[in-house]
């Protein structure tokens, strides 16, 4: 019979150790390959979904830009109409304002002259003015204007 020497036992132990190590590394590499496959599939799915989303976003941005341009055009038209209305108002006020004020003042003066108190008619109650929640008699108001 053949006796096994210490070197041969050591060689067998090293061979078994290497076989176990290679088996663990093979399992780890197989799992890493599965993970890479899953990651590749996930990236492909995300890309497939992202491309239409980006196209939709691009369409939405273009549509928003078109709407902004329309609103800008409307705003400039409104500004032009406002300035035209302001100019028209100024023109009307300067053309008719002065003469209308004079006619109104003249009419008021004529009414005051004709509607003066008649002899024997009872005096009207003095007019009252409301100032911040209080009533001030007409005589007091007249004193304040003179003073």
Element housing 2 (H / E): none
Greater model confidence, 9 or 132: 9
pLDDT given at position 134: 56
Q: What is the largest CA-CA distance in the chain?
A: 165
First to last CA, the chain: 146
Would you say the pTM of this structure is higher than 0.75?
A: no
What tokens does 114 get? Answer: 């004709």
For the cut 70, the answer to whether the pLDDT of residue 61 exceeds it is yes
103 in Cβ contact with 96 (< 8 Å):
no
What is the pLDDT averaged over residues 104-115? 85
What is the pLDDT averaged over residues 72-95? 88
What is the pLDDT averaged over residues 61-74? 93
pLDDT given at position 39: 96
pLDDT given at position 118: 53
- At 64, the pLDDT band (50, 70, 90 cuts) reads very high
Query: What is the C-alpha to C-alpha distance for residues 44 and 49, in angstroms, rounded to an integer?
Result: 9
Within 8 A by CB and 6+ apart from 130, the residues are 136
pLDDT given at position 101: 77
């Amino acid at each position: 019979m053949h006796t096994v020497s210490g070197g041969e036992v050591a060689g067998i132990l090293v061979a078994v150790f290497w076989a176990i190590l290679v088996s663990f590394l093979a399992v780890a590499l197989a799992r890493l390959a599965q993970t890479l496959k899953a990651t590749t599939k996930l990236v492909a799915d995300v890309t497939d979904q992202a491309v239409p989303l980006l196209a939709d976003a691009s369409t939405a941005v273009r549509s928003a830009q078109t709407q902004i341009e329309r609103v800008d055009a409307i705003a400039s038209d409104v500004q032009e109409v406002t300035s035209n209305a302001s100019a028209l108002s100024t023109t009307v006020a300067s053309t008719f304002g002065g003469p209308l004020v004079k006619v109104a003042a003249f009419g008021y003066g004529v009414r005051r002259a004709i509607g003066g108190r008649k002899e024997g008619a009872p005096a009207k109650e003095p007019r009252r003015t409301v100032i911040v929640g209080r009533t001030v008699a007409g005589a007091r108001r007249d004193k304040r204007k003179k003073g």
